[in-house]
């Protein structure tokens, strides 16, 4: 099975991706990670991308797809199942993914979008606190009032801290970019009858069960 997973920042896509990869034995392709590692390893495309990034220029679709393809080619002998995370991000990339899958004799991708209302995301992200000792993540909206200031698990109740990025302003900007970038892509998949959406609100275990429900319908 090949899966394309969409989800706005703060929706818990990373957690769901990890779990779905474990259950269905998918190889997780995080496009951001793949681009960074191509740059680090100085692959042919990596060098070209590094130059563009250095000049603050956008990486063209062909190059992003090239990096995705490098990843698929490198792992293809071990697996025929990938999870595409952060790709496709533009309309041309949709077609490029289809061709890439075909070229590597892989099955067409199942496309799933985790849907969480923006208000919910704001609540989740701005309520997020991290223990300064154990790095466990808490949400103050889910905690008792007395427990808000400190970690209840660590000895000595170390303080909970908020990450600099977990503010309404940062999140709003990331959501704006996500919607602007992703909506045309989702729309295209929807028009092709390929898009499955799931309710991404509530408990992560429940979200995971919904996701598995969709995937088991496909296979
Ligand atoms: Zn702790």
Domain ranges for the chain, please list them.
2-116+176-218
3.40.50.2300, 3.30.450.20, 3.40.50.720, 3.40.50.300: CATH of 2-116+176-218: 3.40.50.300
Rounded to the nearest angstrom, the distance between the alpha carbon of 133 and the centre of ligand 1 is 5
- Ligand 1 centre and the CA of 1: distance in Å? 38
List the catalytic residues.
13, 89, 128, 163, 174
Q: How many of the other CB atoms lie within 10 Å of CB of 212? A: 16
Give the Cα separation of 64 and 86 in Å (integer).
10
The two three-digit tokens of residue 46, written as one number: 């990596």
Instruction: Write the pLDDT tens digit of every residue in 3-31.
Output: 999 999 989 999 999 999 999 999 999 99
Mean pLDDT, rounded, for 176-198: 96
Q: Share the mean pLDDT of the chain.
A: 92
pLDDT digits (tens, 9 = 90+) for 88-147: 999 999 999 999 999 999 999 999 999 999 999 998 888 889 999 999 888 888 766 656
What is the Å distance from ligand 1's center to 129 Cα?
11
Report the separation in Å between the CA atom of 207 and the middle of ligand 1, taken as the mean of its atom positions: 26
């Amino acid at each position: 099975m090949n899966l394309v997973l969409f989800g706005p920042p703060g929706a818990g896509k990373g957690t769901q991706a990890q779990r779905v990869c474990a259950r269905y034995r998918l190889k997780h392709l995080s496009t951001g990670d793949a681009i960074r590692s191509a740059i680090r390893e100085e692959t042919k495309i990596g060098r070209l991308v590094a130059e563009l990034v250095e000049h603050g220029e956008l990486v063209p679709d062909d190059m992003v797809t090239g990096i995705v393809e490098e990843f698929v080619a490198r792992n293809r002998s071990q697996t025929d199942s990938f999870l595409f995370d952060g790709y496709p991000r533009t309309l041309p990339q949709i077609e490029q993914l289809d061709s890439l899958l075909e070229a590597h004799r892989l099955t067409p991708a199942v496309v799933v979008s985790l849907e969480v209302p923006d208000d919910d995301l704001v609540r989740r992200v701005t309520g997020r606190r991290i223990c300064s000792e154990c790095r466990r993540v808490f949400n103050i909206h889910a905690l008792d009032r007395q427990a808000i200031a400190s970690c209840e698990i660590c000895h000595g109740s170390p303080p909970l801290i908020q990450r600099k990025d977990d503010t309404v302003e940062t999140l709003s900007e990331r959501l704006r970019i996500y919607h602007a970038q992703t909506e045309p892509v989702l729309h295209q998949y929807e028009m092709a009858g390929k898009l499955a959406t799931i309710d991404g609100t509530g408990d992560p275990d429940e979200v995971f069960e919904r996701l598995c429900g969709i995937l088991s319908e496909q296979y």
